[in-house]
Amino acid sequence: MGGRTLRLKGLAYGGDYNPDQWPEEVWSEDIRLMSAAGVNFVTLPVFSWPRLEPRPGQYDFDWLDRIIDMLWEAGIAVDLATATATPPAWLVREHPEMLPWNADGVRLEFGSRQAYCPSSPVFREHVAGLARVMAERYGTHPAVRLWHVSNEYGDHVARCWCPVSAAHFRRWLQDRYGSIDVLNDAWGTSCWGQNYIDWGHIEPPRTSMGPINPAQQLDFERFSSDALLELFKVEVDVLHEVTPDLPVTTNFMSMFRELDYWDFAAAEDLVTDDAYPDPADRRSHIGAALNYGLMRSLKGGAPWLLLEQAPSAVSWRDVNLPKAPGQMRLGSLQAIAHGSDGAMVFQWRQARFGPEKFHSAMVGHRGERSRTFQEASSLGAELQRLAPVKGSRVRAEVALVVDWDSWWGLSAPDSLPSLRLDWARQARTWHAALYELGHTVDVVQASGPFDGYRMIVVPNLYLTTPEQAEALAAFASSGGVVVVGPFSGVVDATEKVHDGGAPGLLRELLGVEVDEWWPISDDDRIALAVEGGPASATVWSEWLEVADDVEPVAEYLDGVLEGRAAVTRRRHGEGRAWYISACIDPVALKSVLGTAADEAGLKNRRELPESVEVVTRSDGDADFVFVLNHGSSPTTLAAQVDAVDLLTGTSIRDGVLDLPGFGAAVLTAPVDVALARGIRTPLSTSSAHTEPDQEARR
């Protein structure tokens, strides 16, 4: 698949375009404004299946032909959707069995989008048919540069419990286990009398009378992710067959629990993401950095593309705050800093009807006078100056493990020591600590590969396989630092507790044994001593027994666990293995991960103001250092560098870098200059330019 890349001049800039929601008179106005704003790439026609095939087998492509030609005449390329996210009403009424069911057995009704069961053979057949017709008609059009399959798989329907899905689930289980005896053993059906004698007796885990078998639940999560992946591949196969040179993507939803994006990314040519950091959350850029780290890592560091973001407000939160002036620009630059070769939005022109009529767009209801258009236009001009960063890669020395099996297992209802240990929150908290230490963080699978990293952090690995345990141990043996979080190494791939208890297959690496979990109830906190300083744990703690060669780094100071180890480390081969047995407060976590990073030879950057993020892309000849001020107030940095700011064209030499609120600079210089490290807080003003304390810090 390596040969199928997105061919565009410069960075991609534009948005979702729905010309069929507008009279054709508006189209020429659209193209004029797109050209004025520097748009070079648009996505269409994502939701237009009923317009393209108004009656079974009768197609109407004239309008799409016209608009694609018009765009191309203006030099605007197209991310062409196969339009399969919205099956037409006629198809649904002809085949009502393709509507999805929820866990209560209620059939979900037509009236929104994604009105399909992922397993439906009828739907799959029609999807393949439309993809083929689209590929044959448009595959050689010079404007078409990327296939956009479906839209945000799983956004509305990620799990389906209908009879068609049930039959598919049974086939999936037969493939996985081969015999019903093996399934009975894997699922531990001897608990609560669930033994099966016939595949036909197995159903998806619909709402039941009590807690559901966790192994059945986990397999249903895996199956459901696979069912959507199969559906995706139906289209990918057709598109690759008809247009072997065009790349294929489907737009992801950042860190999304329902789908294993490692598997999805392997099936596509380009990773694309839809990112909606909440302007009401002053720390949302930190979460964005993790999301983008995942996107960059899904294909081993290859450039990806931010395919959707909001120009300003969205319309699907309870309260939808607009972005402040400059915030959309900064968010775009942050995605690019993290390896996106462009910044696209949803959507081009603000709708006047439908559920998204209050969602912002590049062209707002006020037309070209709208603030979003003004800002979009100046960003378009700036992005042209950033063209040299295209194709360059982000360098990271630390990676965080994201494992969907553990995520799914840890969210099984009704059978865990505590429902408050939230996998995603745990991952975000650990990432935020590394972010605040100044690190750019990649994402990896627990089974590796870990080449090029000095430190691997594992916020949680509830479900651990031998392959993962071996990879982590091998990394430490050869000199790496591994840090593992609480409730890891608990179960195997079939939800069975490892022999001898936690941390199971990680026991030897970490040198600890967990005697019992001690979850912490709602508002309680347990005192700890971490590196001499006071700290606390909430949500989770553990009773640890430690091996002789293990060094306790922090201990519990009160409660039943008083005097027992809370954080440990030990040598493992050339490297080190740390275990953090509790949810320790953010300041303590930052201190522990900072020490582990020191051991790994990483350079923590505590000297940067809290609002400032520094990320480096490099193409081997030049470095591009993105300096981003996520705060709303201005900041001044010392810049002991000799570089050019690509955004302004100005040279910076051993001076200062003034960034307004939400301001940014993209400094470039030859690679051998230690550029990023030259950017620091001026000593005299370090505290004056620090953002006020944020909610998670004490």
- The contacts of residue 479 (CB under 8 Å, 6+ apart) are 573, 574, 575
Catalytic residue check, 308 = yes
Using CB under 6 A as the binding rule, the residues of this chain from 319 to 378 that contact ligand GLA are 346, 356, 359
Read off the amino acid at residue 242. Answer: V
Residues 150 and 182 sit within 8 Å (Cβ to Cβ): no
Whether residue 148 contacts residue 249, with contact meaning beta carbons closer than 8 Å, is answered with yes
Largest CA distance in the chain: 78
Structure-token match 């050869």, residue found: 478
Q: Is 35 helix (H, G, I), strand (E, B) or coil?
A: helix
> What is the H or E stretch that residue 424 is in?
helix 423-436
Q: Which is nearer to ligand GLA, 250 or 429 (CB)?
A: 250
Q: In this structure, what DSSP letter does residue 93 have?
A: H
Rank residues 306 and 612 by Cβ distance to ligand GLA and give the closer one: 306
**Nearest CB to ligand GLA, comparing residues 375 and 585:** 375
C-beta of residue 283 within 8 angstroms of C-beta of residue 694 = yes
* 3-class SS of residue 298: coil
Compute the least distance from the CB of residue 37 to ligand GLA, in Å: 20
Minimal distance, residue 321 CB to ligand GLA, in Å: 13
Which range, of 307-315, 536-544, 579-587, 636-644, touches ligand GLA by CB under 6 A? 307-315
Sites for ligand GLA among residues 603-632 (CB under 6 A): none
Bridge partners of residue 147, in order along the sequence? 80, 248
Does 79 help bind ligand GLA (rule: CB under 6 A)?
no
Q: Give the helix/strand (H/E) hosting 377.
A: helix 371-385
CA dist 88 and 289 (Å) reads 37
Nearer to ligand GLA by C-beta: 277 or 485? 277
First-to-final CA distance of the chain: 48
Quickly list H helices, 479-585. 507-510
Determine contact, residues 152/47, Cβ cutoff 8 Å. Answer: no
Instruction: Output the smallest distance, CB 270 to ligand GLA, in A.
Output: 16
Q: What is the Cα–Cα distance from 448 to 158, expressed in whole angstroms?
A: 27
Minimum distance between the CB of residue 251 and ligand GLA, rounded to whole angstroms? 6
Token digits of residue 515: 């005697």
Of 132 and 156, the one with the shorter C-beta distance to ligand GLA is: 156
- Closer CB to ligand GLA, residue 152 or residue 623? 152
Segment contacting ligand GLA by CB under 6 A, of 221-229, 306-314, 503-511, 528-536:
306-314
Q: Which is nearer to ligand GLA, 346 or 540 (CB)?
A: 346
Q: Evaluate whether 123 touches 58 at the Cβ level (below 8 Å).
A: no
Quote the least distance from Cβ 359 to ligand GLA, whole Å: 5
Do residues 12 and 344 lie in contact, with contact meaning Cβ atoms separated by under 8 Å? yes
Using CB under 6 A as the binding rule, whether residue 95 contacts ligand GLA is answered as: no
Give me 299's structure tokens.
């294909």
Q: Which is nearer to ligand GLA, 312 or 635 (CB)?
A: 312
Report the residue number, 292 or 556, with the smaller CB distance to ligand GLA: 292
| CA–CA separation, 594 and 587 (whole Å) | 10
Q: How far is the CB of 274 from ligand GLA (least distance, A)?
A: 4
* Least Cβ distance, residue 83 to ligand GLA (angstroms): 12
Q: What is the Cα 160 distance to its own chain's centre? A: 23
Smallest distance from the beta carbon of 320 to ligand GLA, in angstroms? 10
Catalytic choice (53, 235, 258, 308): 308
Q: What's the min distance (Å) between Cβ of 149 and ligand GLA? A: 12
User: From CA 172, how far away is CA 6, in angstroms rounded?
Assistant: 34
Residue 194 vs 538, nearer CB to ligand GLA: 194
Determine how many CB atoms are found less than 10 A away from the CB of residue 688.
11
Report d(CA 375, CA 198) in Å as an integer: 62
Q: Are 480 and 473 in contact (CB under 8 A)?
A: no
Q: Which residues contact 155 (CB under 8 A, 6 or more apart)?
A: 114, 253
Q: Which of 30, 53, 79, 152 binds ligand GLA (CB under 6 A)?
A: 152
The nearer residue to ligand GLA, 123 or 256, going by C-beta atoms, is 256
Applying CB under 6 A, does 221 fall inside the site for ligand GLA?
no
Where would I find the beta strands (DSSP E) of 539-630? 542-546, 551-556, 565-572, 575-580, 583-584, 612-618, 622-629
Tokens 């300083």 -> residue: 533
Q: What does the block give as tokens for 78?
A: 């197209």
Find the residue with minimal CB distance to ligand GLA: 274
| Least gap, CB of 117 to ligand GLA (angstroms) | 20
Among 226, 235, 269, 308, the residue binding ligand GLA under the rule CB under 6 A is: 308
Q: In the complex, what is the shortest distance from the CB of residue 692 to ligand GLA, in angstroms, rounded to a whole number?
A: 30
- Can 24 be counted among the known catalytic residues? no
Q: In this chain, which of 86, 150, 151, 332 binds ligand GLA, going by CB under 6 A?
A: 151
Q: Which of 80, 314, 554, 622 binds ligand GLA (CB under 6 A)?
A: 314
60, two tokens: 């109407």
What's the half-sphere exposure (Cβ side, CA atoms, 13 Å) at 510? Answer: 30
How many residues touch ligand GLA under the rule CB under 6 A: the total is 10
List 53, 152, 495, 610, catalytic entry: 152
Pairing of the two strands 575-580 and 565-572: antiparallel
The token pair that represents 398 in the structure block: 């630390």
Nearer to ligand GLA, 185 or 356 (CB): 356
Closest contact distance (angstroms) between CB of 245 and ligand GLA is 26
Kindly identify the residues of this chain, within the stretch 233-292, that bind ligand GLA according to CB under 6 A. 274, 276
3-state secondary structure of 313: coil
Binding positions for ligand GLA, rule: CB under 6 A? 151-152, 274, 276, 308, 310, 314, 346, 356, 359
Q: Kindly list the catalytic residues.
A: 152, 308
